[in-house]
Every structure is written in C-alpha cells, then in structure tokens.
Structure 1
Amino acid sequence: MSTSKATQLLASEVQTRGDLLRREGYLVRKQLGAKPPPCASMKDLLEKLDAGLTRFADTGLRDDELPVNTWHWTDNMPHSEEVLARLVSACVNQRSVQIQYVGMQRGDAGHWLRIVPLSLDKMGDQWRLAAQDLEKEGAVRTYVLARILAAEHDDQPIPRKFVRASPGDSQKREAVRLNPGLTDVQRRVLARELRIKDGYVTLPARCWHEFMIRFADGQRSDNIAWPPLLSS
C-alpha cells in the first residue's frame, strides 16, 4: 500500500471514529479514556487466535510483535483425500455412505458401517464426523476422521421411516463438584476455565463423556484399548 493511500485511510478512520481516534500531527492515537470496540478487544483477539486466524490482517499485529505458535498433537486427515471428499459430498447432499472405521474396542481390525453424515465436529484438537448409524436405527455417533480407512458410495436406499437428526447437538447440563484439595484460588480459576456456573457445567451432549474423562473421574469401558501409548 502506498504512503498516500495509507494516509487517506487513516484520515477516513479518524473522521469516522472520532469517538475513538484523534490526530496528533502525523500520528493517530486513541482518544483518552475511549473503550475499544468489540472487534479490537482482547477477547476478540484470543477468539481469532483460537480459530487459527493469526495473520496481520486478522489481528493487526505482526509476527515480530506477537509471535504465535500452534502445536497439533494429532493428524486429523482420513487415510486419503478421496475419503474426505466422499464424506463431505454425502453430508452436503444428505446421502448415505459406507465407511470402513477402526474403533478403539479391543481386537477391532476395521469394520464397515452405513451412515448418514450430519456435520463435522471439532473436539479439542481432533476432527470428527457426526453421523447416523443406519444399522442401529439412526443412532447418532461420532467417528474420528483419522480412523476412517475408506469411504464408498452407498447404493442402498435409506429406510422410509428414517428421520434425519439435527446437525447440532442437544445441551447437557449437570452438577459438578470441585476437588476439595484445591485452594480457593485454584477453585476460582478452574471454575472460570471450565465454565462452571452455579455449580453446573453445560456442554453439547456428545462432548460430555470425554470432558468427564479429561477433567473428572469418568471411566472408560474395559472393552476399550486405551490409552494407546504407554510410558517406557
């Protein structure tokens, strides 16, 4: 951008946002006591960073001003782009598809399922496919994308009585107790971090089980081969 163009843009912004900005010679400064708009708040900044929006155009901060690192524990892609393309196509066109999926049940070597994809869900660092299992009366399940080995077009008709579920998820609200061994300060910061309101946590229903395993004393089934890694 040329210097003259940038100067024109700054002048226009000062004129438009006189409640927020003021000119001091060649400089543009914030008005004393002015509150930044929501789009310039620290909450908005963190939400953008959390969504992976780290460019200067998104944050207004250069890499040398605010270095941002994102670490991924997992590779979320299915075993080929063709698999993902078929899943996306089935979801967009509201059609059924057959997938070969490897679950974490002991001895699972991959099995085929007939499903109707509903949505892509991101849970923590992991992408999943929410879908209805046609072999289990349309029950809604979630499937980790990286564990889908194959996807094939499904030529079988969807049952007449099939009712497509909502792509969203119902909210589950349950009472929780903080560990009595926590200090008062620990209790305060964790209550805020885990969004505990008046002793309750509210989450989408399909997130609840793993939330309890990660932060509470929820138990996995003995039939699940977990954890996958063992310390040496």
Structure 2
Amino acid sequence: VAGDGTTTATVLAQAIVREGLKAVAAGMNPMDLKRGVDKAVAVVVEELKKNAKKVTTPAETAQVGTISANGESEIGKMISEAMQKVGSEGVITVEEAKHFQTELDVVEGMQFDRGYISPYFVTNPEKMTADLENPYILIHEKKLSSLQPILPLLESVVQSGRPLLIIAEDVDGEALATLVVNKLRGGLKIAAVKAPGFGDRRKAMLEDIAILTGGQVISEDLGIKLETVTLNMLGTA
C-alpha cells in the first residue's frame, strides 16, 4: 500500500512534543533537547530517503490521494486521474463547487495569475475580459516604457491584421499611453499583461510561455534587443 507518511509524521511529532515536555519538566535543558531532536531528525530523514519508493502507478497515486483525503477513495481516484492528465509538473487546484457533484475539469493550455495592465484593453465590457483571437505574443523580460524600439514590429503586426499580446515585467509611461490610444482608435488590437513570478522564477516561467507558444524570450542577456525583433520571433496562441 502506497502512502505519503503524513499520519506517521503527525504521530511522531505528537510523541516528540509529549516526551520533550516531560524531559523539560524533569529539568533537562530545552536547547540541548532541541539539538538532540535535530540530530535524530537528520538521521531519520536520511534513512527515509534511502528506503522511500517512488509512486509510479495510477493505483498507488490513488492510494496516496485517498490517505490525504481522509480516506475518501472517490477523491483519491480523482486526484490520480488528474495527475495522469497533467503530469507531475502540472498544477492541480481544488475549488468549492456550486452543486453536490464532485467533478474533474481539465483546462488545456497555460494559466498564470496576472491580468491586463489597463482596463482600456477590455474587449468584453460585460465580462470585463480582454479576448484576443489568434494573437501574436511578445515575451519581454524587462519593463517597456517606450514603443520606439518596437515601432517596426508594431507596423508589421498591424499589417498582418492579427492582435498582439505583450507580456513584460511592466508596461508604463508613454508606451502604455500610446497602446491605449491605438486600442481606442481601433488601429491595433492589443493587450498587455505583467509577467508572472519574480527573479529567476519569472525567467523560467517566461521560457515556459515561449516554448508553449513557439516564440522567443526577448532578453538582452541572450543578445536579443527589442529593435531587432521580427514577427517570426513572436509566440502565437
């Protein structure tokens, strides 16, 4: 039977606290006790790593899920099914339903926790969403404060007749104002969002987006400047 050790860990933690309090009450130095616990934990963790067996089958995943779901086998099976669909690197979230059924909903593609930078990019006022159909995607790791470097690119996008999504650290100042004006005049179907994550995590996520959309991350660290960006370096969706 596969498990994740949570129940055992809880029982051990409770025993350590109970016996530790007894030792302190009997006059033992709390710091000495802590150092002893830390040493014991390090040894136990090392042994656990040696003896641990990786969960590899859907049935084993379901068993672990069932334990985590307090014995609910239906939930365990659903967790296993979700893992099979999205893989070990996928994201699984649990949300409260508006009905009594428990269901699994798989969302294709990619989601990240960022929205449009300006409400002027909204295309559906009723839902307050910015919907772009078959857009080009500019993936830029730095802040965009001026459109001067990408004017030739913007002209190419306009000529293509397709929308443009800009993902950057931020879009502000003259760049944001110009994009909003162009959007309102109907000259360019566009939206801009802040890149997800921070630091190295952001770089990794932008690379994931680039791979998924078939584009390139525009980064001076990679020797790519905004002035040299062409349509075939943009992602698509």
| TM-score bracket for the superposition, by shorter chain length | under 0.3
The structure whose residues are more often strand, as a share, is 1
The structure whose residues are more often helix, as a share, is 2
Greater C-alpha Rg: 2
Q: 1 or 2 for the larger relative contact order (CA 8 Å, sep ≥6)?
A: 2
Task: Give the TM-score normalised by the residue count of structure 1.
Answer: 0.25
